[in-house]
Amino acid sequence: MDNLKKENYESMSETVKTRRRHKLIGRELVNYSFDVDELKLVPLGDVHYGSPTCNWDKFVKTVQYIKDSGSYVILMGDLLEAASSHSVGAGWVEQTTTPQDQLDDLYEVLEPIKDRILVLLDGNHEERIWKHSGIQVSRILAQQLGVPYGGYSCFIRLKVKKNNYIIHAQHGSSGARFAHTKMTAVLRVATYVDADVYLYGHTHGLSVQPTLYRNVSLRNKMVYTRKRLFCLTGSFLEYDGSYAQRKDMQPVKTGVVKLKFFGDRWDIHGSA
């Protein structure tokens, strides 16, 4: 093989390896630019469709709100209940529909807003199927929708006019039971991740905690104060008859966080 062919082959080989890596663990970073004065974003996850306590109607209405309001979306994982005979507890016999139907129905609801989905993350419930079959249903759903697959966590860079915002989104793995310990889980992420907005699922908590931090602009040689948002991104599981009730966990409000990023100035707002 001559040098030119060898170089092309090695280049193609590295490209294939990169693609396989992205397919397996997901994209580490996605970039978007928007020429708007205000960008609305909804982190949407922990639907647990198929669970008997899933509020499917509220989820469908939330998707409709996203469409009507022109919001963009980050899918935070645990969209499916995805229980199997290997699952802990009675989820296998309790779920209201099969994992295949869960996947099909979710695609049908999400398809109308696929152009507004920035990235789709994996969750531990989808991982149940991966562990026992080698099939990544989150990756399949991302492929069906034509959106980036982000694995368990992903950075999202938003450029809104001239303002840059960095979001770190992850499904999470905390076993925290109380509101303050759930928030501690996402606050802890800032000890090893630098971002403007931290999105954390899994806990089913629904809250936004703004904080201020101080830094130095090397370009302007000035000290500045900037806002950070720490967000627990909510769920669609009602309390009565749920796993949380059986385990004496605290009831939580269902729903989503709503975020705004501004183009005419650097500023972020969040509400739950």
200 lies in a domain?
Answer: yes
The DSSP letter of residue 242 is S
Give the tens place of pLDDT for each residue, 198-256: 999 999 999 999 999 998 888 888 998 999 999 999 999 997 866 766 767 788 899 99
Q: Where is pLDDT greater, at 20 or 100?
A: 100
Residues 118 and 73: beta-carbon distance below 8 Å:
yes
Residue 136 has pLDDT above 80, yes or no: yes
With respect to residue 172, please indicate whether it lies within any of the assigned structural domains: yes
* Tokens, residue 2: 């001559």
Average pLDDT over residues 100-108: 95
Residue 22 lies in a domain: no
Quick check: is 67 in a domain? yes
Provide, rounded to the nearest whole percent, the portion of the chain with pLDDT above 70: 84
Between 243 and 63, residue with greater pLDDT: 63
Q: Which residue has the tokens 């629904």?
A: 206
Domain CATH for 92:
3.60.21.10
Identify whether the C-beta of residue 193 lies closer than 8 Å to the C-beta of residue 224.
no
Confidence of residue 257 (pLDDT cuts 50, 70, 90): very high
- Kindly state whether residue 6 falls inside one of the protein's structural domains: no
Least confident segment among 121-125, 186-190, 210-214: 121-125
Q: Describe the strand order of the beta sheet including 38-44 as a list of residue ranges.
A: 117-120, 72-75, 38-44, 258-262, 268-271
Question: What pTM value is reported for the model?
Answer: 0.88
Which residue range forms the structural domain that includes residue 65?
28-271
Q: Evaluate whether residue 178 is within a structural domain.
A: yes
Strand partners, 51: 49
Q: Count the domains in the chain.
A: 1
Q: Is 241 left (phi over 0), alpha (psi -120 to 50) or beta?
A: left
